[in-house]
Amino acid sequence: MNDTSNKPLSEDADRLAGVPPAALPFVQLGSQALRARRPDAAEGSLRTALAQAPGHPEIQRLLGVALRLQNKNAEALKLLRLAAERWPDDVLVQNGLGTALDACGEREAAISAFRRACELAPGSGALWANLGKTLGDYGHYEEAVTALEHAARLSDHSATRMRLAYALRAVGRIDDSVQCFRQMLARNPADTTAWLGLAGMKTRSMGSADMQAMQRLLQRKDLKPGEYISLEFALAKALEDHGRYAEAFAAYARGNTQTRAIHPWSAPQFSAFVDQIMASFRRPLDGATGSLGEQVIFIVSLPRSGSSLTEQILASHPQIDGAGELDATTTVIEAESRRRGQAFPQWVTAATAEDWQRMGHHYLAVTSRWQRPGMRFTDKLPGNWSRVGAIFAMLPGACVIDCRRDPLESCFSCFRTLFSEGNQPFSYALGDIAAYWRDYDRSSRHWQALYPQRYRVQSYESLVADPENQVRELLDFCGVPFDAACLRSHETRRSVRTASASQIREPIRRDTARTDKYGALLDPLRKELGLPPFAAQ
């Protein structure tokens, strides 16, 4: 984030008006430490200064910045709120407040603070970039595009252009997104984030010149690990598009090996975690009562298993909003774990019906922006498959759709995807992916047996082979009448930020299988999944 709230400005006499002379040296020391990116040193000096000048907004702001840079977000927010009470029309205070609010998860308040900062300094590209990033992070993609386009006109930084490209993809402006990535490469042909962005356009192919450019870049000795990884995944996608499958697999393997070194994963440890969850939910618990959560449709799955398509179909219905991948369940469960001082699922058996009722209301409070009279909304966080027992305990009126795809296709699709910021760390080795699928599969069967009326398994292959009948069944399960718009889901305008963002803009396709093209190269994965080798098929 372009953090103009870090700008010390403690030498500005107007900003330091009213500070006692004895406190000024400590303000200067704190300001210098912030410039040097030493927030711990800045904190000590600024605490001393604030003790001598209690309530001074500029010192509160600077100390808030120092605290936030150390992830002491709650205290930083408290100070920045106090500064904003005294200086409500100060652009640095508002921007710093927005950053702290964002760090504390107060989403709408953060957006409001950034909007106010932009009103106070409309010519600052950095402020518009902050607003656009935050809007995009919280799913307001149309507004994010507007803010980021404005930021790019004022100050065309590569990070702003990259966020704009992804926001354009999220709202379905695929050609504009491609153009944005191409503009980034025109400015800097070594921009690996732009190459990866182009590769992420599942419905667009890269040319021979693109492959040659990436292969030349990979020969450079000064690439950082993240740049190398991005290029390998981008090159693999281009090679695949040109039918060079053995070379593509080798590039995917190299990229995944490098990524796994950065984001290690323990399959046995995760399997033990799934064991604990299933043991904690041997039977339906005495949870919340009534129809609490009846407006929520959870969509769970492994990544790359058709969940985005399923959500797009449902979001095409006039009574259903597609909310995307919400972290609300994570927020609720982590809050309860902090309250009890125990990790999930250790506290599950001690939770009472009243506890689950409280957690259900907490979930609904966190997702309040998606609740409208007469409407339902989807929550499509894939990893919620492990929390289905908790979901039904706190939201007994909710329903869960489990999107399943052919295991080989699903697992290999994960291997072909470079997930953002180390998400899905199981996906960087074929053995780990297969182990994760087995844990998911046994968990899915467990939930299906416990909650047969509220849990639907949705086959991706069945959906693309017989869309009308499958869509009718899907809508009936969700408790809404059939609507023909759901059969034309590619026409629905909504924001999607997942790896499938470009694919769902097209009519349902039946030709998405990839694994046969890789033949025996995937036999190790087939073996892990208990499938026969390619030659035996």
pLDDT in tens, 329-379: 999 999 999 999 999 999 999 999 999 999 999 999 999 989 999 999 999
Q: How do residues 212-246 score in pLDDT, each as one tens digit?
A: 999 999 999 999 999 999 999 999 999 999 999 99
Q: How far apart are CA 130 and CA 103, in angstroms?
A: 13
Q: How do residues 476-494 score in pLDDT, each as one tens digit?
A: 999 999 999 999 887 775 4
Of 109, 136, 131, 135, nearest to 120 by C-alpha is: 131
* Model pLDDT, residue 61: 97
Which residues of the chain register pLDDT less than 70?
1-12, 493-512, 536-537
Q: How far apart are CA 240 and CA 248, in angstroms?
A: 5
Helices and strands in the chain: count of H runs, count of E runs = 25, 5
* Model pLDDT, residue 493: 56
Give the domain 1-121 fold.
Answer: 1.25.40
pTM of this structure = 0.84
Of 59, 61, 122, 49, nearest to 94 by C-alpha is: 61
What stretch of H or E contains 456? strand 455-459
Q: How far apart are CA 408 and CA 515, in angstroms?
A: 7
The residues near 170 (Cβ < 8 Å, ≥ 6 apart) are 136, 141, 144, 495, 496, 497, 501
Tell whether the torsion through CA atoms of 469, 471, 472 and 478 is positive or negative.
Answer: positive
Question: Under CATH, which number does the domain 268-509 receive?
Answer: 3.40.50.300
Q: What's the residue count for the chain?
A: 537
The residues near 209 (Cβ < 8 Å, ≥ 6 apart) are none
- The b-or-e profile of 393-427 (16+ CB within 10 A means b, else e) is bbbbbbbbbbbbbbbbbbbbbbbbbbbeeeebbbb
In what order do the strands lie in the sheet containing 455-459? 320-322, 376-379, 296-301, 399-404, 455-459
Question: For the chain, which residues make up each domain, given as ranges?
Answer: 1-121, 268-509
Residue with tokens 């909003």: 321
